[in-house]
Each structure stands twice: as structure tokens, then as C-alpha cells.
Amino acid sequence: MDLEKMHYKLYYIGYLTGEEFLQDVQQIVHNAERALDGDSDRLFKAQQMANAARMLIGGWEPQFKLECQRTAVREAQRRDERKKQRAADKAAKAREREAEQKKVEEGKRSGSDEPPSHSYGTRRATRHNGVQPEVTEDPVEIERRLKRQRSDAARDSAEPASAGSGPDVEMEDPDRAAKRARTTPMPDGSPVDVSQGAGPVVSISEIVPPTEQVTTPTDETTKIPDAYAMSLDAAPQALIHIPEPEPQVSLPSFHIDESRLLALSDHLVHSTSSLKVEQLEQLRALCLNCVWSHRGEWDRDSMVGQLMEIVTDFVQQVQQVGVSI
């Protein structure tokens, strides 16, 4: 046992009772007695420390010692429980670590391609969690698929071209419809007479009557905001009022008699030389009160005279009190 260990136990509440502290102090005295170097100063200081510790702990009240012993029993039980809990947690972590290590070793021995399970989770992919993709290696089957795709694409491109012919197209382009009527044969093979087969072509614009243009009273609507805007613009002009400049007031000049101020300073230095600190603070408060009361005056000669009277009266009162004592 040494002083460093005792300091550590004192700082981290290692001692629960005074008897435990005295036991460590006595252990230091025992070590000093059994020292081979024969250092008498070390033994003397250790004995002094032990006597001082006994005196301090012996001065405790009996009720306080009893409470310390009761608290020490409860705290010792709590520390034992925490120590057991830490040991159990440590053993559980060691078992988990061993189990993970065994799983890794078994995976290496089995040679499986599964990725190791870690804290980020298992990768979700069809290669690991689903059926393996089917790979077609027959060139004939690949060629058939390509031909089928090309034929489907050609059929899709032909359908929009055929869908363009119909009555809608004829309605849109009457010239194209007339040409098609002249070149289209009859079912019995005889040619078609253009003058009989083709009638007068009427455009859609002639069938549908033109809609009447709706006129909106734009002139009336535009005039109303203009008049309203003019009224808004005219209102601030009537309300604006330029204030007249205030006349400058000429202030009086500040005046204080330098000779009287110098006399007041000399009087303060010489008359207050025998005063104490408390008395000087009282005099300072009286002088500040006088200055504050005359703060609105431009002529400070009367203030200097009043300060002179305050200092003289205060010094006389202090001298009278000292003589009476």
C-alpha cells in the first residue's frame, strides 16, 4: 500500500467506512517499519499520519459512524451485483464472438459461395436468393428469336401507314379523294365516269357557318382603372406636408471658476488626510450627490462653493466625534 493507491481510492469512493481508511494507513506504517533502508524520517512521518487519522476519525459522532456502516453494507452489495453483471456480459460477448468465428470457419470448410453475414445485412439478389438465370446456348434458337423480333417490328410499322386511308383523310384533303375516285375501277371492271362519280366537293369551312366574333368592351374596362389610378396618384400630393425647419436655440456657454476648483482640490487633499477609508467613502457619496443635483446648470460656481461647505462640515463632524471618543 502507498499514498498513490490511497489517493485513487479516495477520489473514486473506494473507502466506505473510516476503519478501511485506518487499515490502509496502518499498512503504510507497517511497511515503513519493515523497510530495509532504515529511514527514520519516513517512519516518523508515517506514524504522525496514522495518529492524525485516528484523531480525525475518532471525532466522528456515533450516529454518523452507524449510518456509514449501514450505507457501506448496501453499497458493497450493489458493487458485487455490478461486478457479477459485468462478468456475465463479458462471458456472453465472448460466447457470441466464438459462435461467429465458428460460423466463419464452417463456411470456409463447406466452400459455399454465400456472402458472410455482417452488420449491414444480406445482399438481396436473384443470384443469391432466387433461381439461377437460364442461359440459351443454341444458335438456332437465338436466330429464330431475332427473326421473330424483326417481323414484329415490320408489322408494327406497316399498320400506321394503312390506318391513314379512310373517310377522315378524304375529308381533310378533297383533291386526293377526287384523284382516288377517278382511278378506282367499278366492281364489274368498267371504268368510272368522272363527271358522274365525282360530285361537287364542299369544304368543311363552307358547311360550318362562321362563328360570330365576340366583342368585349375593352375600352370601358380600360378607362375605369386609369381614372382610379389618377385618383390614387393625386391623393398623396394633397397629403404631403413639408415640415418647417425648427429654429436653432442658442445654448449658454459652460462656466466654472478654475481658481475655486483648484482651491477645492487642495482643501480635499489637506483636510481629509487623517480620515479612514469608510469616512472617505461617505464623503465621496455626499460630493457625488451634490454634483448630480447641479447637473442641469451651466454655471458651476455655486456647485463648487457647496462642495467646499460639504467637505468642511464633514471634516468638522469627524473631528468632533473623535474628540468625544
60 falls in which pLDDT band (50, 70, 90)?
confident
Sign of dihedral through CA atoms 250, 252, 254, 257?
positive
Cβ-contact 314, 287 below 8 angstroms: no
- Whole-number Cα distances in Å, 160 to 151, 167, 197: 15, 15, 29
Residue 189 covered by a domain: no
The pLDDT, as a whole number, for residue 11 is 85
Residue 49 has pLDDT above 70, yes or no: yes
Average of pLDDT values for 188-207? Answer: 47
Residue 283 covered by a domain: yes
Number of domains in the chain: 2
Cβ atoms within 10 Å of 207's Cβ, excluding its own: 7
Residue 301 covered by a domain: yes
Q: Among 53, 68, 92, which residue terminates a domain?
A: 92
Q: Among 92, 108, 138, which residue terminates a domain?
A: 92
Which position has the higher pLDDT, 143 or 173?
143
The pLDDT, as a whole number, for residue 54 is 87
Residue 292 has pLDDT above 80, yes or no: yes
Residue 12 covered by a domain: yes
Which position has the higher pLDDT, 129 or 28?
28
Q: Residue 43 belongs to what domain range?
A: 3-92
What average pLDDT is seen over the chain? Answer: 74
Cβ-contact 292, 248 below 8 angstroms: no
Average of pLDDT values for 106-128? Answer: 58
Q: Among 37, 57, 92, which residue terminates a domain?
A: 92
| % of the chain beyond a pLDDT of 70 | 62
Residue 287 covered by a domain: yes
Residue 177 covered by a domain: no
Which position has the higher pLDDT, 184 or 154?
154
Q: Which residue carries 373517310 as its cell?
A: 167
Q: What is the pTM of this model?
A: 0.30
Residues in the chain: 325
Residue 128 has pLDDT above 50, yes or no: yes
- Whole-number Cα distances in Å, 183 to 124, 188, 190, 192, 196: 67, 14, 11, 8, 14
| % of the chain beyond a pLDDT of 90 | 17
Residue 159 covered by a domain: no
Residue 166 covered by a domain: no
Instruction: Please name the residues in contact with 79: beta carbons below 8 A apart, sequence gap of 6 or more.
Output: none
- How far apart CA 186 and CA 315 sit, in angstroms, is 146
